[in-house]
Amino acid sequence: MYDLTIELDDRPGALAEMGEALGVAGVSVEGGGAWTVDGRGVAHFLFHDGEAATAALEQAGIKVTACRKVVARRLHQEKPGQLGAITRALATAGVNIEVLYSDHDHRLILVTDDPDAAATATADWDR
């Protein structure tokens, strides 16, 4: 799974154009979100095929600034404190979390500065 960092104009229809470009290319979004930061649209979306998603977006004139491997984990939802526990495990391992969100399958998606170390540090949540 791959997280794409996507730059969008801060205007009505920009996100729709992104979604339409992906749909035309037959690329499904698996999770993510979009925000306005300092007058620019910034989106992080999850894809099975990062290269296909990047190609579809760039062909539509949409800027992709990064395509990165993610770590997907399932928290123990019945136990309070899971977010603190998993993020503490990453901090203890010296891993910086750059983006965090949930996917359509209720997994925590982590984009970090070291996905291999993040995978090792969060192995207890690999279920």
Q: Which of 13, 15, 22, 5 is nearest to 60 (CA)?
A: 22
Mean per-residue pLDDT over the chain, rounded: 96
Q: For 56-81, what is the mean pLDDT?
A: 96
pLDDT at 50 over 90: yes
Residues with Cβ within 8 Å of 116's Cβ and at least 6 positions away in sequence, in order, are none
pLDDT at 127: 80
Q: Which of 12, 35, 32 is nearest to 22 (CA)?
A: 32
Q: Do 11 and 68 meet the contact criterion of CB atoms below 8 Å apart?
A: no
Residue 73 DSSP class:
E
pTM of the model: 0.92
Residue 103 DSSP class:
B
pLDDT at 126: 92
